[in-house]
Amino acid sequence: MTTWANQLLLYIALVALVLGIAVWALTFATPRISMQCRALSLDDLQIVYTGRMPSADTTTVRLRRPDSERLSALAKSKQKTVVDVLHDAIDALERQEFLRGLSEDHQRLSPAEREALLAERLAWDQMA
């Protein structure tokens, strides 16, 4: 596997870790309207957790507290959920890794291959 593919797998594993923490953070950061004050139980957590996503489609991820706070602040500023911000981050990272790999491939082209590629692009652009 190429280095960028290994990095992508590492980033995906990290994001999966962050997703679990984000769900946990959302559980405790979401205001609850209640007429009585009581401590949250594990049953409450399970209801909130599975209420947003089926538990079979999720996993728990541990995240450093400062990173969790940064993620929550970013979500708040974008008026999105933490999970949506993480999905956006995964998408952006995948695009970045793809473009980095594409750039590396272009850099390895010989002058003749580069000229052939530019000629092919020109031919396609004329069809548009």
Q: pLDDT per residue over 66-112, tens digit each?
A: 888 898 899 999 999 888 888 898 999 999 999 999 999 989 999 99
SS (H, E, C) the chain: CCHHHHHHHHHHHHHHHHHHHHHHHHHHHCCCCCCCCCCCCHHHHHHHHHHHCCHHHCCCCCCCHHHHHHHHHHHHHHCCCHHHHHHHHHHHHHHHHHHHHHHHHHHCCCHHHHHHHHHHHHHHHHHC
pLDDT of residue 97: 93
Answer whether 0.85 is exceeded by the pTM: no
Angstrom distance (rounded) from CA 29 to CA 87: 19
At 32-44, the pLDDT tens digits run 544 455 555 544 4
Cα first-last separation, the chain: 36
Q: Where are the domains of the chain?
A: 3-127
Percentage of the chain beyond pLDDT 70 is 58
pLDDT of residue 63: 85
At 25-68, the pLDDT tens digits run 666 555 554 445 555 554 444 433 334 566 677 787 788 888 88
Q: Residue 128: is its pLDDT beyond 50?
A: yes
Whether residue 9 contacts residue 90, with contact meaning beta carbons closer than 8 Å, is answered with no
